[in-house]
Each structure stands twice: as structure tokens, then as C-alpha cells.
Amino acid sequence: MGTYLLGIDIGTSACKVAVFERDGHVLAQSNQPYQLYYPHPGWAEQDADEWWGAICTGIREVLERGGIAPQEVAGIGIDGQSWSAIPVDGKGHALSRTPIWMDTRARDICDRIKRDLGFARIYKVAGNDFLPSYTTPKMLWFKEHAPDIYKKTDVFMQSNSYIAFKLTGVKSMDHSQGYGVHFYNMENGALDETLAHEMGLSVDQIPQLFASHEVIGTVRAEAAAQTGLIEGTPVVAGGLDAACGTLGAGVYQPGQTQEQGGQAGGMSICVDHALAHPKLILSPHVVPKLWLLQGGTVGGGGALKWFKQEFGGELSFDELTKLAQPIPAGSDGVIFLPYMAGERSPIWNPDAKGVYYGLGFDKTKGHLVRATLEGVAFSLEHNLRVAAETGAKVGELTAMGGASNSRLWTQIKADVTGKTIHVPASDTATTLGAAILAGVGVGLYESFDQAVKETVVITRTQEPDMERHGEYQKYMEMYLSLGEALAPVFEAKVEHVL
């Protein structure tokens, strides 16, 4: 058996492919972009076959770049974005582009289902609210608005399970992605046939369930020809990107908490029982018998990326954040609400809008940059405060994603939350988590404990400045008050305002 592990990450803007040595060292990696479609207001779609094309290119690139013989790859792990609803027919063809996690077209369906069944009925099984971002409302949307596609659909698949199918020919869904399906019982990991029927759906529309580290099959000949891999390479079920990133950051024991700094923001608290909160997200971890109490926000690293594209000119990210360095905590009263595509937890308002408050002639670009960094940190703190209502204990944070490379941004998050933040060796935590699943699945590691200890290295630790933490509390209250005050404005239609 080979000793290299291949990790695949299906992100929102691109797929990442990386090959790791047993100790977690990256031999080669590739980043392949693909299209995001917005055909109508509230819609956000991607083409699963475009994912596959990008992944094929990425795999070939990392094998060549790393000088890796394909027979040296011991196993393949795949993680992917949440809440896909890929309609796949009996022959395995994707029948339509999939609505992704940002898609809110099923809002009316959600209102009706919650009214007809009652929030309590759904929440008791799913441990999550019935919201348009999730998979279940999208399945119902296909049934009601695209009946020709719905009738041809054999199963609805998730992002990682579709790519696993393209590699192996096996239709699957891992448990960590089960939380997107509201008739998946969060406590026992089984599909609730009665609730599915009450929703007008069937458990048969969900593929066979697997543990995230379970080998579901091996690379078939057609996929080997397209990717450059060898036929027979083991493929595990994989998992949710946030959960794989959590594992790849070394968060795999109860009480540990990951802080997300990718395109989106948020946090994942590792718990040993299904601890739910209606304003947060609960999912199984990719590590068996553990769950993740999550806060998922729209405004993460993507907020700064947007600012750079629109207002940064030729400045690099480092040069941009240097402008924010001398600005005092609280940005002299400039507050940013990072609701750039509505907002997920904990306010769950698809109508919410990004806002800069407190501008004046005395404010500079540096104020706006720092307010952007602080606004994302405030959204993290908001989720942590809501999580505390469940009794979940959060000590130190472990950061992941590109934003963790910024010492200033990491320090702001530490100061706002009052938490120590550890930063692992690289921003490849998500692909590493997928690779760890493969390593455990094929027996390269004896346990998740061994895998994490051998692969995850903390490169720096940033402690909160408690004096600044105290200063940030008043700005945090301004942030919360501003969001509450603007909620009626967000929901008002323009023609009603004018």
C-alpha cells in the first residue's frame, strides 16, 4: 500500500486538491476555480459536473507537480460544501445544476412546511430549523417547481458524495452531511420514514449512509483514465467541509472549538451529544460519536475579498490590512455588519444587508478595513454567545482558513472574544481533514487520535488583550443593536419604503 493521501475540497469558489505525506506535510496542491450562477434573485447554483472537471484537472496537476506515482496514493478523502441537492438519475447523471448553501429560493416552502407540521415536530428529529439553505426544502422545490426533473431523480446527492460516485460508481451519503436532510435523526443517525412522508418526500431519495472514514469503493477504470489515478485506489465517504476542516485543525475532542476563516465565517464546537440550539446548526462530526454545534456566517474572508476587489486597487491583502493596524479598537465608531448575502446564524435573515455605520469626513480607508475585520469578529462572538445558552463550554479556539494567516485579524478575533487562538501550520486544514479520513479508513492510522497527533502542528498562539476585550464589549453592543434596529428595514420592500 502507498503512503500518500489525497484530499479533495469542494469549496464555493474553487476546488482544492492536495497530496499529503503521512505526517501531514503537503507534497503538492492545486486550486481550480469554477462558476457560480445567479439566474434569479435568491438563487445560487453550481454545476456538479463542473466540479468534477475541475477536480480531474487538479488531481492530474498535483500528481505531476509532486512527482507522485499514482500507485503511491493509499486512499482518497473528499469534503464538500453543505446543503447541496443534486438530482441524480438511475444512471448516475446529474439532471440539473444544484442549489448551493447560499440559495434561498425555497423560502415560501419553508414557511408552509413549518406552518403545516410545526417547528417542534421537525426540530425534535433534525435538531435544526427548517430553512431554505438546507437540502430538504430544495428537494421540495424540485418536486413543486421542476416536476420533470423530480420524476427522473433516483437520489439527491451532496457535493462530496457526488464526486465519490464519479470516482467509484457508488451512491452514498456520509453522516456528517445528514444534517441537511430534516428527516435524518440527529441523535441516532437514522432516516425517519414517517417525517419524510409527512413532508411529501421519501427516505429512498437519500443514498445509503456511511461513516465519513468508511471505504465506500475504489476508483473505477473510467475515473482513473480521467484523473490519472490508478484503478482500485480506495475512496472513503468523506464529509462536510466544516467538519473536515475542524478535524484538520486538530479539533476532535469534546470542548474543543474551531474558528472558521474561509470565504464564510463561523465556529464549530465539538460536543459528545446532540446539543442543539434553534438559532445554530447541529451536525454529526466526521469523527464517530461526536457532534458539532456550529455557527455559520456569510461574512468571513469573503467580506475582505470583496472590499479588496472593489476598493483596494492594487493593494495586496497584507498592504490593505496594514492600513487597519494603527486604527484603534472599535474603528473610532465605524461598525460593519457583514451580511453580504443575507445572513445565516444566528439571525437567519436572507434579507439582511451589509452595512457600514459611523462614517464621516474624518474616516479613512483604514477605518473601513479595520471595521470589516472587526465586523467578522463580532459575528463570531455573536454565535459564541448564543452557543453559551446551551451550556456548551468553549475554552480556546483553533483557527483555520486563509484569514488565520493574518496576525492582525486573528488578534482582533482573540480580543473581541476574549479567547486564546491557536493557529495550525497551514491553511490546508480542510483538505488535511479529508485526507485524515482516508488515512484512518485504509488503516494508515490506527485512530483519529494518532492521526491528529502525527499531522497537526500549531505554529503560533495569540492571546487576547483583556483591556481591548473590555473596550470591544461596548462596540459589540453597538453591533447587536444596529442589526436589531435595521431588521425591519432589511425586510421592507423598496416600493413600500419610497
The answer to whether the bond into 39 is cis (omega within 30° of 0) is no
Q: What is the pLDDT of residues 303-350, one digit of tens each?
A: 999 999 999 999 999 999 999 999 999 999 999 999 998 999 999 998
Stretch 36-41: mean pLDDT, rounded? 95
Check residue 496 and give its pLDDT: 47
Q: Which band of pLDDT confidence, cut at 50, 70 and 90, is reported for residue 13?
A: confident
The domain boundary residue, chosen from 174, 206, 237: 237
Q: Which band of pLDDT confidence, cut at 50, 70 and 90, is reported for residue 2?
A: confident
The domain boundary residue, chosen from 199, 222, 237: 237
Three cell numbers written together for 81: 460544501
Q: What is the pLDDT of residues 124-178, one digit of tens each?
A: 999 999 999 999 999 999 999 999 999 999 999 999 999 999 999 999 999 999 9
CA distance 362 to 342: 29
Q: Report the run of H or E that residue 388 belongs to, with start and end.
A: helix 365-388
Which structural domain range is residue 496 located in? 241-498
Check residue 22 and give its pLDDT: 96
332 and 248 part of one domain: yes
Check residue 294 and give its pLDDT: 95
Q: What is the pLDDT of residues 181-191, one digit of tens each?
A: 999 999 999 99
290 and 191 part of one domain: no
Q: Which residue has the cell 423560502?
A: 107
CATH code of the domain covering residue 77: 3.30.420.40
Q: Which band of pLDDT confidence, cut at 50, 70 and 90, is reported for residue 217?
A: very high
Residue 274 amino acid letter: A
Residue 100 amino acid letter: I
261 and 228 part of one domain: no
222 and 271 part of one domain: no
Q: What is the pLDDT of residues 379-389, one digit of tens each?
A: 999 999 999 99
358 and 228 part of one domain: no
Residue 460 has pLDDT above 60, yes or no: yes
Check residue 493 and give its pLDDT: 60
Tell me what percent of the residues of the chain surpass a pLDDT of 70.
98
Alpha carbons within 13 angstroms on the beta-carbon side of residue 157 total: 31
310 and 390 part of one domain: yes
Residue 93 has pLDDT above 60, yes or no: yes
Q: Report the run of H or E that residue 157 belongs to, with start and end.
A: strand 155-157
Stretch 56-65: mean pLDDT, rounded? 98
Check residue 497 and give its pLDDT: 46
- Domains in the chain, number: 2
The domain boundary residue, chosen from 189, 207, 237: 237
Check residue 262 and give its pLDDT: 82
CA distance 488 to 131: 19
276 and 423 part of one domain: yes
Mean pLDDT (the chain) is 95
